[in-house]
């Protein structure tokens, strides 16, 4: 199964997926494309070091979302991608990609959806004072973090946690859960 990862920032989840593939923990899967909407995102340097093909673009160079999503759709087709994984892609997916990819596009989110959708989900959970939060992998639809849930894992908020330690625990769980979700999708194909 050939996958593309969409990311806008650090790329720690892309690296976790790639490490799992290299360690043979994620089997029957190859990472064949990074799609990134920020030239200066740290993930761009990381994929160059690992020789992962990429498509890096600036949304402002296109007239609208339809225009850049049309180019992305062509790149996905050329790379013969089977599954699209959004891992920190900080942009709502539009109609061009949804029409082609709904059901084959998953997103990682750092909360137990439907709680705390949108930006800064870890901060939202922290400020609300919940005893438990977590990580969700869900199918992408037109809403913001609203699609059907594919896999979820809880993370406890302990008395000695700080917002930073909670974020670290959540990221560690993400790095496990996202490769697991990809394997699950591959097994159910
Ligand atoms: C991850 O925590 C991911 O769950 C979050 O962005 C981070 C990307 O980290 N995504 C969202 O908040 C989407 N609503 P990374 O660039 O290190 O993989």
Joined together, the tokens standing for residue 150 give 């594919």
- Residues forming beta bridges with residue 94, ordered by sequence position: none
Q: What is the DSSP letter of 51?
A: T
Whole-angstrom distance, CA of residue 187 vs CA of residue 189: 6
Strand, coil or helix: 6? strand
As a whole-number percent, the residues of the chain with pLDDT over 90 amount to 99
Q: Is the CB of 46 under 6 A from ligand 1?
A: no
Tell whether the model's pLDDT for residue 189 goes beyond 90: no
SS3 112: coil
In the reported structure, the alpha carbon of residue 20 is separated from the centroid of ligand 1 by a whole-number distance in angstroms of 18
**Is 88 close to ligand 1, i.e. is its CB under 6 Å away?**
yes
Ligand 1 pocket mutation pick from 7, 37, 109 by most atoms within 8 angstroms of CB = 109
Distance CA 3, CA 8 (A): 17
Q: What is the pLDDT of residue 11?
A: 98
69: nearest Cα among 84, 48, 82: 84
β-pair type (132-139, 105-109) = antiparallel
For atom 1 of ligand 1, the residue with the nearest CA is: 88
Which pLDDT tens digit goes with each residue over 25-79? Answer: 999 999 999 999 999 999 999 999 999 999 999 999 999 999 999 999 999 999 9
> Residue 143 Cα, ligand 1 centroid: separation in angstroms?
17
For residue 138, what are the β-bridge partners? 107, 149
CATH of the domain at 175: 3.40.50.170
Domain range for 34 is 2-188
Number of compact structural domains in the chain: 1
């Amino acid at each position: 199964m050939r996958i593309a990862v969409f990311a806008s920032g650090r790329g720690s989840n892309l690296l976790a997926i790639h490490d799992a593939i290299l360690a043979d923990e994620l089997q029957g899967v190859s990472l064949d494309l990074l799609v990134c909407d920020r030239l200066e995102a740290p993930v761009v340097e990381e994929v160059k070091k690992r020789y992962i093909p990429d498509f890096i673009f600036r949304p402002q160079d296109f007239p609208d979302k339809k225009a850049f999503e049309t180019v992305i759709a062509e790149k996905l087709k050329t790379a013969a991608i089977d599954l699209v994984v959004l891992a920190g892609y900080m942009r709502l997916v539009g109609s061009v990609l949804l029409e082609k990819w709904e059901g084959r596009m998953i997103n990682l989110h750092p909360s137990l959806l439907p709680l705390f959708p949108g930006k800064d989900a870890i901060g939202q959970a922290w400020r609300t004072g919940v005893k438990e939060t977590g990580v969700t992998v869900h199918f992408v639809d037109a809403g913001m973090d609203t699609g059907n849930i594919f896999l979820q894992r809880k993370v406890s908020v302990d008395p000695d946690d700080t917002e930073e330690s909670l974020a670290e625990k959540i990221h560690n769980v993400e790095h496990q859960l996202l490769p697991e979700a990809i394997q699950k999708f591959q097994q159910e194909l």
